[in-house]
Chain A
């Protein structure tokens, strides 16, 4: 049974989420991937103000395909998270509460998730047409010049994902495969 969570996510929500939980998220999230992360990170390094308020936000690693009328958004599945590993700890230390992506994270990210009491969700890679059905609208926030990589705000309803790294540091990508591994 999937847990329904209404965003913004609370400390209590995060405390109760465990690696392996199926979750349906509703509310608002922001998007960003490689190029946007690089820009945000560089601004933080220079001690400058960010163009979006990341405090309490969940960021979705996505670069959507264009919307085909009459749809509000195009197919929008997750992109590989590890490419954001270099930038993620700094964003979590500044108040971001979670990420939605796919695939493994490095130790620095897991440590930052635990240190800041955050959560990492995985959406299903390649299920872009299905996922788009739970995205109700989009709004451009900044970095329009990046095209698909711009930072947007999505209003989502019952967006399906799975807790992969919880606030205690439990990691589904570490714990699950060994259960199904067959040695000769």
Chain B
């Protein structure tokens, strides 16, 4: 395979468009789920909340304004082909510039502060982004991006389970995390779960799981069954839409896994609100 040159500007334009689009246009799988769950919702207040969310998402798409004012911290999963060379700039700077332009020109909220503990000064352009890059074979760059709001991010948790906990231990920890979150993360939620790898790998997988459409399932039937069982059990908790009671607490549970160490079984649970924003593109 030949070396392929991609202009930094092409990277910037792609990233910019992805972040604007993901904040204006909700994924079809979420719209479908909101409609389906509305039919099954037992609480009248809950049905009303789900109707309002559907209406909200229609307004956002029609007027191209953000679904939620928390347009998130910019997260990117990049599969970078090993034959790609960036021309007229650097990859990292081109990505940051795309985020900057999207949040500035797209009327998205700038929510990033410079230092987490002491200064907490808004960087005013929503950079830096969180960029996870994997070098893969090929001459393309694939982007999977999302704006992650923190109302739900703050309700996430990770636990270093050990092998003897088994599948039951995994499920208990996921349910416990959702129960603790209660009405706070803007239910109905999407639950992203990462199992395996190391401490940080599990957390990355959990985030990536929230970026998967909720009408898909894990290719391993055992995990697919776990996704369905967890969704059912979460919806028995009673929190309901907006936490005001009902049987629609989650719209979907997505599990991603990775091989792990003989001594470990890390489980990360990344909670995402109903405004589960993600988009992908390949250049």
Give A contacts to B, CB under 8 Å: 20, 35, 62-68, 71, 74-77, 79-80, 82, 102-104, 122, 124-133, 146-149, 160, 162, 164, 172-173, 175-184
Contact = CB atoms under 8 A, between A and B. Distances in A.
A130 to B, nearest CB: 4
Nearest to B232: A182
Interface of B: 42-43, 45, 49, 52-53, 55-57, 59-60, 63-71, 107-111, 120, 122, 124, 151, 154, 182-186, 236-240, 242-247, 273-275
10 contacts: A63-B111, A65-B65, A71-B65, A75-B69, A102-B183, A125-B151, A125-B273, A130-B55, A173-B244, A180-B246
Given A75-B65, A77-B69, 16 more contacts: A64-B109, A74-B109, A75-B60, A75-B69, A102-B242, A103-B182, A129-B63, A129-B65, A147-B110, A147-B124, A176-B45, A176-B238, A176-B246, A179-B43, A180-B247, A182-B247
Contacts of A80: 151, 154, 184-185
B107 A104 contact: no
Given A75-B60, A147-B122, A181 B69 contact: no
A135 B112 CA distance: 25
Nearest to A172: B244
Main SS class of interface, B:
loop
B109 A179 contact: no
B36 to A, nearest CB: 17
A88 B131 CA distance: 37
A39 to B, nearest CB: 12
A144 to B, nearest CB: 12
B242 to A, nearest CB: 5
Contacts of B243: 102-104, 122, 173, 177
B154 A162 contact: no
Nearest to B247: A180
Contacts of B68: 75, 77, 125-126, 128
A176 B240 contact: yes
Nearest to A164: B244
Contact of A127 (B52, B71, B124, B237): B52
A126 B26 CA distance: 12
A126 B274 contact: yes
B69 A64 contact: yes
